[in-house]
Structure 1
Amino acid sequence: MKFKIAIGSDHTGIDYKCLIIDFLISKGHQIKDFGFSRYEDQVDYPDFVHPTAKFVEIGKADFGIIICGSGNGAAMTANKYQKIRAALVWKKEIAFLARRHNNANIISIPARFIDKDKVIEIVEMFLKTGFEGGRHKIRIEKIPLKNNDNPQ
């Protein structure tokens, strides 16, 4: 199956972003690149994560990939969007569970903590894994707060 995939990264993720994009294009996927592309500058990850997450949220992409140093800031930013379930993923088993149990639609990759030879395995696992549904569907439907929800 071919997907539309949005990708965004800060300066720490440039090498990973390029590697992932080359892989995805070779597999026939469509890419929308919101990532940073100059090595000499430092940037703020929200500037690239927000448009990536929004693109997925409004249905212009099936999935998103976001990359920053730890992956945490990128995931936190993306998860501000109601229809986004961004998972911090550092190995393929986590990518599998993020899709299978959480129906994650964005993966956040920690560039400083993953070897480049493992990042393609992670992306590949994420894209080939389907959502199990069932009890997991019930759980993820409870994630977004409604206007009148009181989290107490």
Structure 2
Amino acid sequence: MSKPTVALAADHAGFELKNLLRDELKAEGYDVLDLGTNSSDSVDYPDFGRQLGQTVAAGKAAFGVAVCGSGIGISIAANRVTGCRAALVHDATSARLCREHNDANVLALGARLIGIETARDCLKAFLATPFAGGRHQRRVDKLDQPA
């Protein structure tokens, strides 16, 4: 059984962590779509968060990983795209719960706030956890309704 495609995007602060996670995903057999950035030169996180959100919402990737310094800005940008449900997490428990309860399709990480081992644990938990559905489905359905 083939593994799903995972898209990654980061700003300059998340560049290094994005690359480490990209390499790990490839080693685990995932198809990876790297949306950049491709250096540590300063860029604007909204551009990369929006592109990641659009990529996942359009079905070009099953999941996304967004990384900036805090994870906050890039997750806000991704969440502006209807159909994208980005969750900023700080540990494996929050990564598991965002999938299980919220059907998050984008994992957001703060490269300046968590270490590589925690980021790896978050990614593994995120990708290994299915959406529970049931009572959570009606809540997730409301996320894509107009305000």
Query: Could you list the runs of 5+ residues in structure 1 that have no partner in the other structure?
Result: none
Residue aligning to 1:66: 66
* Partner deviation per Cα, 1:32-89 (whole Å, 9 max, x = no partner): 11121222x1111112112111110110100000000111111111111110110001
> What TM-score, normalized to structure 1?
0.92
Amino acid at match of 2:98: A
Q: Distance in 1 between matches of 2:83 and 2:145?
A: 11
SS in 2 for 1:131: coil
Deviation at 1:15, TM superposition (A): 1.3
Aligned length: 146
1:8 is aligned to 2:9? yes
Amino acid at match of 1:97: L
For the pair shown, the structure with the greater C-alpha radius of gyration is 1
Distance 1:81 1:37 in 2: 23
Identity fraction in percent: 39
Tell me the SS of whatever aligns to 1:101: helix
Counterparts of residues 1-152 of structure 1 (less than 5 Å): 2-39=3-40, 41-146=41-146
User: Which 4+ runs in 1 deviate beyond 2 A?
Assistant: none
Task: Give the gaps of 5 or more residues in structure 2.
Answer: none
CA distance in 2, matches of 1:59, 1:128: 19
Task: Give the alignment's TM-score, normalised by structure 2.
Answer: 0.95
- Partners of 1:67 and 1:35 lie apart in 2 by 10
Task: State how far apart, in whole Å, the 2-side matches of 1:89 and 1:14 are.
Answer: 18
Instruction: Give the Cα separation in 2 of the matches to 1:57 and 1:9.
Output: 17
